[in-house]
A and B are shown apart, each in its own frame.
Chain A
Amino acid sequence: MDALKIKQASAMPAPTWGWLRMNDTAIEIPAGLERARAVTIEADEDLTETHASFEGAVEKLQERLDAVRADAPDTRACVRAAEREQELLDDLDTPALSAYQLAATREEIAGDVAHAFETGIGIDARSYLNFLAGGTVVLATEEGACEQAIVRVAGTSGHMAGAAVDVVAAKGSTLDVVISLDGVADSSRAAGLIGSELRVFAGEGARVNVTVYITADDVFTVLDDAGYVLDEGARVNVRHVVLGGAHTYTGLASDLRGDTARMEIDTRYLAAGDDTRDFNYIIRHRGRRTFSNMDANGVLTGTSKKVLRGTIDLIHGCKGAEGSERETVLLANKGVDNKTVPVILCDEDDVAGNHGATIGHVRPEQLFYLGCRGLSQEQAEALFTAAKLEDAALSAPDEQIRANVIRLGSALIEDFADFEEEIA
């Protein structure tokens, strides 16, 4: 069987120059993998025995949005541009839109939640992961309930396995979801693939906390694809901890549809050897006074490569919205390649958007402090690498995931066993 390739995956909404090779990625699915059942879901029965569905929740939200939709004609320049049949220069007051701006305007005019739904890696990866999973598990809370669930995908060499989960958090409920994407290479060191497909509907005032740990060995391709829709006042906290995997793809798209919805994403990553890390975050602010914050912190060693695309999209109507993103990357070795594209798209004036990136070595004041405690620059960089793993172990959601981190850490760092003994 020829290797399958998912093209134009993790595409950023507004592309830039093609020669930079950052706009999207091609995911190669290793050839000859066998499908395996390697997914376990630990959740209370009241979470899984439900009639709620993601589609149903979106539909109800759509009804509410349509009911309050203003029918005053929209005469904005971009709308005129999107609705005209031909680009003529007779009308010099109508701008020529880019392909992305045109699509965004049309999407805005349509106001269709289901149609606008997207996931970070994209539709092809979603289809592939759904096929791998075989079926979708729905985790739905009752109003005001407080629940937890753990999804584990345990990959093995020569196999591919995936989970597909829909989360529907009812009004005022709280749900903690942990996804562990782990894979252990056997002595053959044959390739493997694991992944998860997640759709989340966070209802009015619901709180959803999602933690994803990727701790696979360096023969695995890992896909973590997710799409979120947030209703009024919903709060979602996402933690992405990406420590292992030969090629990892983390994609998250979020539709902050309801007013005052909040999305916070904390990403910690480590890439060693010739690992590649690919992240694509798309946060669409549609509701008023919505808030988002993305914070990524990573270390690249060996000859690893990383791309992080982060897009904050402040869409017309999201008055009072605030979106920010920040990335700090430590390049701990000569041969690494770090690509970062922090995009802000803005079609609304009463908003605040900001992004920042710091790329390079340990900051001088940090280096001096660490030097005063006896650490050379090399030792300081090694500390940052080890700390990524140790921090992940210390804050692991459960013992099993902690053990995965320690297994991976021991493979990456010589004296990691020392740390293992310490926290045991």
Chain B
Amino acid sequence: MSTDALLSVADLTASVDEKTILHGVNLQVAAGETHVIMGPNGAGKSTMGHVIMGDPVYTVNSGSIIFDGADITELSCDKRSRAGLFLSFQAPVEIPGVPLSSFLRASIAGRPGLEMRGKEFRRRVKELAAQLDMDTAYLNRELGVGFSGGEKKKVEMLQLLLLQPKLAILDETDSGLDVDALSVVSRGMDAYRSTCDGSLVIITHNTRILEHLDVDRVHVMVSGRIVREDDASLIPWIDEHGFESFEREADETADAC
């Protein structure tokens, strides 16, 4: 395991409404690496992304999250974002009354190296929109309100490219079902890898999204625990066999306890 990890999650236990969802999870991601977290529905994969990002809904009971050399376990999510962490959502939340462009401008405001003057900002955003094949009319529309599935994904990818995080967690649990969304995400990931050279953590239970992607490590999560970690060769194996054997193992371990 690399000692100079960009993200280091150690023995992380987290709960919601007194129900423990993550049980002592460990995860190390080095700079520039691409990791995949896979697992069946309800395994706690999305929770993991949210806890790393600091969703106040969850309580961290024990363990730590170190990012870029600093302990961020106690930081609020806006500070984690400004530290260079990014979490994509299945879809942006709807915020009526807030045009997408106003929101984007606020999100880069005060970020060294990213803050842009009016016209420059508009040009940059239009450039990225073109790269993602997104209609620029959406920039004047209210965030998330009445956007199609594909447009919602584009909004998320646009932010990924605009904010240029050091590490992006892409929660794509449902994207595998939608061909349009899938292609948007693939395009976004390619652009991110080629322009920012940041780390990627992709959360999915569908391997299609991983085609054409150089995956460094695969983590399999079952019932809130990482039960297997391996290189990219695990992906075709999972494709063929699914998660059943991992689930069985997890059950047996649980029984043995």
In-complex A–B contact (CB below 8 Å): yes
Once the chains bind, are A371 and B96 in contact (CB under 8 Å)? no
In the complex with contacts A372-B87, A374-B163, A419-B105, A391-B111 CB distance below 8 A: no
A364 to B56, CA, bound (A): 9
B79-94 near A? 1/0 per residue, CB < 8 Å: 1111000110100110
Q: Within 8 Å of chain B (Cβ to Cβ): is A137?
A: no
CA distance A366 to B78 in the complex (A): 12
Question: Which chain B residue has the least Cβ–Cβ distance from A376?
Answer: B78
**Contact A371/B99 with A418-B117, A419-B105 known, Cβ cut-off 8 Å:** no
Interface residues on B, range: 35 or more
Stretch at the interface among A53-61, A85-93, A382-390: A382-390
Within 8 Å of chain A (Cβ to Cβ): is B106? yes
Docked CA distance A328–B93 (Å)? 16
Contact A422 B99 (CB under 8 A): no
- B103 engages A387 (CB within 8 Å): yes
Instruction: Judge if B70 is at the interface, Cβ distance under 8 Å.
Output: no
A372 touches B56 (CB 8 A): no
Say whether B179 faces chain A, with CB atoms less than 8 Å apart: no
Q: Does B41 contact A (CB under 8 A)?
A: no
The answer to whether A373 touches B102, judged by C-beta atoms less than 8 angstroms apart, is no
Beyond the given pairs A375-B107, A376-B76, 11 more chain A to chain B contacts, judged by CB atoms under 8 angstroms and listed by A's residue number, are A366-B95, A372-B86, A374-B78, A376-B79, A379-B106, A395-B140, A420-B118, A421-B119, A422-B101, A422-B119, A423-B118
Could you list some 6 contacts between A and B, CB below 8 A?
A366-B93, A366-B95, A370-B103, A373-B78, A382-B106, A387-B98
Contact partners of A375 in chain B: CB under 8 A: 78, 81, 106-107
Is the pair B98, A369 in contact by a Cβ cutoff of 8 Å? no
Q: Tell whether, in the assembled complex, residue A372 and residue B96 are in contact, meaning their CB atoms are under 8 Å apart.
A: no
B93 to A383, Cβ gap below 8 A?
no
Q: Which residues of A lie under 8 Å from residue B117 when comparing CB positions?
A: 418, 421
Chain B CB within 8 A of A394 CB: yes
In the assembled complex, which residues on chain B have CB atoms less than 8 Å from the CB atom of A376? 76, 78-79
A368 contact set on B, CB distance < 8 A: 55-57, 77
Q: Is A399 an interface residue (CB 8 A)?
A: no
Mostly, the A contact residues are helix
Name the residue of chain A whose CB is nearest to the CB of B122: A422
**Distance in Å: Cβ of B50 to nearest Cβ of chain A:** 8
Chain A positions 278-310 with a Cβ under 8 Å from a chain B Cβ: 297
B88 to chain A minimum Cβ distance, whole angstroms, is 9
Which of A268, A382, A395, A422 is B118 in contact with, Cβ under 8 Å? A422
Q: Is A365 interfacial (CB 8 A cutoff)?
A: yes
Interface string of A259-275 (1 = CB under 8 A from B): 00000000010000000
A191–B15 Cα gap in the complex (Å)? 58
A379, B121: Cα distance in complex, Å? 19
Q: Which of A365, A379, A386 contacts B93 (CB 8 A)?
A: A365
Say if the beta carbon of B97 comes within 8 Å of chain A.
Answer: yes
Say if the beta carbon of B235 comes within 8 Å of chain A. no
> In the assembly, what is the distance between CA of A419 and CA of B122, in Å?
10
Please give the distance in Å from A40's CB to the nearest CB on chain B.
28
CA distance A258 to B177 in the complex (A): 48
- Is B224 among interface residues, defined by CB-CB distance under 8 A? no
Contact in complex: A418, B102 (CB < 8 Å) = no
Query: In the assembled complex, which residues on chain B have CB atoms less than 8 Å from the CB atom of A418?
Result: 105, 117-118, 121
